[in-house]
Amino acid sequence: MEFQQMVDGLRTAGFEVILDVVYNHTAESELDHSSVCFRGLDNARYYRHQAGQYLNYTGCGNCIDTYHPNSIRLICDSMRYWVDVMGVDGFRFDLGVDLGRTDHDFTPKAPLLQAILQDPILSETCLVMEPWDIGPNGYQVGQFPRGFLECNDQYRDTVRRFWRGDKGMVPEFATRLLGSRDLFHKGQKSALTSVNYITYHDGYTMKDLVSYHQRHNLANMEDNRDGHSDNLSQNFGTEGDTDDINIQQHRLNQQLCFMATLLLSQGTPHILGGTSFPTLSKETTTPTAKTTT
């Protein structure tokens, strides 16, 4: 009831609600771990196996066998529930390549993808794919069938490199600015297929991107091993927060350049909550809880 009221309120305010869903794995991890989900119902059909072990194309210990009719039916029923009952307007699929695998290889004609596109309810929703997983041939940007939008990490990396000042980036920057037509070819797919973003729900925030050369994931006591080590960032002379007004101004200007590029690029812009308010220093940080994307 509360979720439905939230969706109704957001729609009244002019927003659509896109639900982030993880249909590629469950919480059970590997075979010798506890059974908390579909393993206890039908382990042989719901998960991908090879040589008596789970295949791990997700990095989470297991992956759902989205080629099996049971899984296809379950996922589509779940999606219809979220649309029909809870009122969401679409979905963002985590590690979407796993959803497009048949026996083990990816194909845009995979049964689950086609079932979603042929469904009279689901085909009318907004469908956003994260077009990769960590399995074989797991990078498939630009390869999903028409009807799916795709998160474009090449846009992210090119824009970061360009504004960092890397040499030789102008031609590729122009390609990304004009809809990444090398990936989403004109006449085959709309430029809106490219979901353009600078920062995402994982990795650096916009302020991090202009404040750090290196990651500093120390608070969880994992010895700074987690997170990506190549974030294409710059700190303008000081690592982390600083009282230097000149550096603060450079950082603010860089954030504004990122936002202007994102909003002027052809494609579908994705703005991480909070980054719509570029910050000058730690004293002027805008709380992200007040921002809805």
Token pair of 9 as six digits: 């309120």
Contact yes or no for 150/113 (Cβ under 8 A): no
10 Å Cβ neighbour count for 153? 16
Ramachandran angles phi, psi of 222, nearest 5°? -105, 20
Contact yes or no for 131/97 (Cβ under 8 A): yes
- Rounded Cα distance, 203 and 223, in Å: 17
Q: Is 2 a catalytic residue?
A: no
Active-site residue identified among 89, 94, 119, 153: 94
Q: Is 89 a catalytic residue?
A: no
Active-site residue identified among 28, 98, 130, 150: 130
- Rounded Cα distance, 123 and 127, in Å: 8
- Residues in a beta bridge with 21: 93
Instruction: Provide CB contacts within 8 A for 113, sequence distance 6+.
Output: 99, 100, 144, 145, 148
| Catalytic residue list | 94, 130
